Structure 1
Amino acid sequence: MAKLVLLHRADSIYDDEPDVVYDFPRQYLKAMQEAVGDWVIYYEPVKAGPRGYFAVARIDEIIPKPGVEGRYLALIAPGSFLPFDREVPRLIDGRPLEASLTGPDGGPVTGGLAQSAVRRLSEADFARIVNLGLPADLEAREATRYGASAGGLAEHAAPFERPVIERLTRRAYRDVAFRRKVREAYGYRCAMSGLMLRNGGGRPEVQAAHIRPVEHGGSDSVRNGLALSGTLHWMFDRGLISVAEDCETILVSRNKVPGEVIDRLLIPGGRLLKPRDPRHAPHPANLRWHRENVFGQISAEGPAPWH
C-alpha cells in the first residue's frame, strides 16, 4: 500500500466528488492501485484557491471509468472522508511539507512532480500534514473552547496522543471534527430558522446534522451536513422536514407538524440558509437521499420537542 496526495480543484471538469470518487487518467493508475486500502490527502493547487491540503480519505477500489477510454475512478471508502479542521498551507516558513517537493536548499522545487495530480507521500509527511489539519487534541480544544472544563480531564493534563490512523477512524473524534466544520460553514446559524443562538457561556446552540447518516453510507463532508437547532435537527432526523429538489425550499410534513409550529420555527419564506462558501452547500445527491428515504417515512416516536 502507499499513501498519496491527490490534487483536486473545486471547479474540476472531471467527475470528482472528494468524499465519493476521484477521477484520474491512466498515467497515475499504478500509483493509485498501490494506494488501494490506504489513505490519501486532498490538495487544492495554489492557482485554484487558498485551501492547500484540506481533507483526508481512504481509497476502497479502482475501476475503469464507464464509457471513457483511458480514465479511471478511485472509489472512496464509505465513512473515511474527513475535512481538515483547518486547511494546511503548501509551505510553512517557506518550506514544503512534502519531502519530495523540497529542494537541496530546503525551499520548494517547481515543475515536474510539483505539478503532478497524484504524488506519493511518505508516512512521516502524511502524519505531519494530518496532525496540522486534524490536531490530536481537537476534542479537548472543542470541550474547553468556550471556557468550560473538559469534563473528566485532570487540570493541565496533556491529551492522549492517539496514533493518526486510530484518530481518523474513531467515531467520537470524527463527530467533533464534523460538528466544528459544519457549524463554522453556516456561521453558527441554523440553516432552517436563520437564528444564531448561544447559551450564557457563549457556546453555540446550533447542532450539526448529517443529511445522509453515516450508518447509511453518508460521509463526514460538510456537503453532507446542515447546521440546525436542536428541535429542527430532531424533526429532520425523523422525516418531518426536508429540502426540495431545488436545494432551497424547505419541505414540511404538514399532516404531522402543526402550522403554528412551522410559522414559529422556520425562516420566513421557508428557504434554506446556505453556507457562506458555496463549496460547502449541501450536495443535491445527499438531499435527494433524505427526501427519498427519510422524509415522511419515519415514525416520530416520543413527545415532540415543541410541546
Structure 2
Amino acid sequence: MGKLVLLHKADSIYEDEPDVVYDFPRSYLKAVEEAVGDWIVYYEPVKAGPRGYFAVARIDRVIPKPGVEGRFLAMIAPGTFLPFDREVPRLVGGRPMEAALTEPDGSPKKGGAVQLAVRRLPEAEFARIVNLGLPQDLERIEETRYDPRPAGFDEGAEPFERPVLERLTRRPYRDVAFRRKVREAYGYRCAMSGLMLRNGGGRPEVQAAHIRPVDRRGSDSVRNGLALSGTLHWMFDRGLISVADDNETILVSRNKVPDEVVSRLLRQDGKLWKPGDTANWPSPANLTWHRENVFGQVIGDEPISWE
C-alpha cells in the first residue's frame, strides 16, 4: 500500500466524482493499484482553481473503465471521503507541501512531477497536509465557536491528540466536519425554508442532513448534504419530503403533511435554496436515491402531530 495525491479538476475530460470514483489513464495504473486499501489526498491544480489540497478518501479497489480502452476507475471506499475544513495551499511559507515538488534550495519545481495527476505521498507529508486541513481540535473549535466557555468546558484541558487515521474514521469527528462544511456552503440558510435563523448567542439553528445516509453507503461530501431546519431535517429523514427529478422542486407527501404545514415551512416557490458555488449543489444521484428509497415510505410508526 502507499498514499497518493490525486489531481482533480471540475472541468476535466475524466469523469471523476471525488466521493465515489476517480477516473485515470493506464500510465498511473501501477501507482494506484499499490494504493488500494490506503488513503489519498485530492488536489486541485492552480490553473483549475484556488482550493489546493481539499479532501481525503480511501481507495477500495481499481477496475477497468467499462467501454473505454486504457482508462481505469479507482473506486472510493464508502464513508471515507471527507472534505477538508480548511483547504491547504500548495505552498506554505513559499515552500511546496510535497518534497517531490521542491528544488534543493526549497523553491517550487516547475513542470515534470508538478504536472503528474497521480503522485506518491510519504506518510509524514500526508499527516502534515491532513493536520492542516482537518485540525486535531476541530470538535473543540466547533464547540466553542459561539460560546467560548460552554457548560462543562474545562478551560485548562488540552485536546486529546488522536492519530490521523483514527481521527479520519471517528464518526463524531466526521459529523462535526460534515456539519461545518454543509452549513457554510449554504450560508447557514435552510435549503427548503430559505430562512437563516440564529439563537440569542448567534449560533445557527440550521442542521446538516445527509441525503443518502452514511450507513446506506452515503458519503460526507457536501454534495450529499442539505442544510435544513430541525423540523425539515426530521421530515426529510422520515420520507415526508424530498426533491423532484429536476433537482430543485421540493416534493411533499401530501397524504401525511397538511397544506398549512407546507405553507408555513417551505419556500413559497417550492424550490431548493442552493449554494452559491455550483460545485456544492446536491448530487442528482443522491437526490434520486432519497426519492426512490426514502420518500413516501415514512420511516417510523409514531403518529405525526402537527399541532
Matching residue's letter, 2:197 = L
- Aligned residue for 2:58, secondary structure, equals strand
Q: What are the ranges of 5 or more consecutive residues in structure 2 without an aligned counterpart? A: none
Alpha-carbon distance change, 255 to 97 in structure 1, aligned in 2, over 3 angstroms: same
Contact kept? 1:43, 1:52, Cα under 8 Å: yes
User: TM (normalized to structure 2)?
Assistant: 0.98
The aligned residue for residue 270 of structure 1 is: 270
Query: Could you list the per-position Cα deviations for residues 228-250 of structure 1 after superposition, in whole angstroms to 9, with x for gaps in the alignment?
Result: 00000000000000000000100
For 1:156-235, list aligned pairs within 5 A. 156-235=156-235
**Partner Cα separation in structure 1 for residue 94 and residue 306 of structure 2:** 55
For 1:20-169, list aligned pairs within 5 A. 20-169=20-169
**Partner Cα separation in structure 2 for residue 154 and residue 303 of structure 1:** 41
Deviation, 1:150, is 5.0
Contact kept? 1:46, 1:52, Cα under 8 Å: yes
Alpha-carbon distance change, 30 to 305 in structure 1, aligned in 2, over 3 angstroms: farther
**Partner Cα separation in structure 1 for residue 9 and residue 137 of structure 2:** 29
Q: What are the ranges of 5 or more consecutive residues in structure 1 without an aligned counterpart? A: none
Query: Could you list the per-position Cα deviations for residues 183-238 of structure 1 after superposition, in whole angstroms to 9, with x for gaps in the alignment?
Result: 00000000000000001111000000000000000000000000000000000000
Contact kept? 1:140, 1:150, Cα under 8 Å: no
- Aligned residue for 2:67, secondary structure, equals coil
Alpha-carbon distance change, 288 to 150 in structure 1, aligned in 2, over 3 angstroms: same
- Aligned residue for 2:108, secondary structure, equals coil
- Aligned residue for 2:233, secondary structure, equals helix
Query: Could you list the per-position Cα deviations for residues 19-44 of structure 1 after superposition, in whole angstroms to 9, with x for gaps in the alignment?
Result: 00000001000100110000000000
**Partner Cα separation in structure 2 for residue 229 and residue 84 of structure 1:** 24
Deviation, 1:305, is 6.7
**Partner Cα separation in structure 1 for residue 96 and residue 161 of structure 2:** 25
Matching residue's letter, 1:80 = T
Residue 289 (1) aligns with residue 305 (2): no
User: TM (normalized to structure 1)?
Assistant: 0.98
**Partner Cα separation in structure 2 for residue 238 and residue 259 of structure 1:** 18
Deviation, 1:86, is 1.1
Contact kept? 2:191, 2:226, Cα under 8 Å: yes
- Aligned residue for 2:288, secondary structure, equals helix
Higher mean alpha-carbon deviation, 154-163 vs 257-266, is at 154-163
Contact kept? 1:206, 1:230, Cα under 8 Å: yes
Contact kept? 1:2, 1:121, Cα under 8 Å: yes
Contact kept? 1:231, 1:305, Cα under 8 Å: no
RMSD across aligned positions (CA): 1.1
**Partner Cα separation in structure 2 for residue 287 and residue 151 of structure 1:** 38
The aligned residue for residue 17 of structure 1 is: 17
- Aligned residue for 1:30, secondary structure, equals helix
Query: Could you list the per-position Cα deviations for residues 110-150 of structure 1 after superposition, in whole angstroms to 9, with x for gaps in the alignment?
Result: 11011000000000000000000000000000000001535
**Partner Cα separation in structure 2 for residue 43 and residue 146 of structure 1:** 31
- Aligned residue for 1:114, secondary structure, equals helix
Contact kept? 2:237, 2:299, Cα under 8 Å: no
**Partner Cα separation in structure 2 for residue 118 and residue 229 of structure 1:** 40
**Partner Cα separation in structure 2 for residue 299 and residue 19 of structure 1:** 27
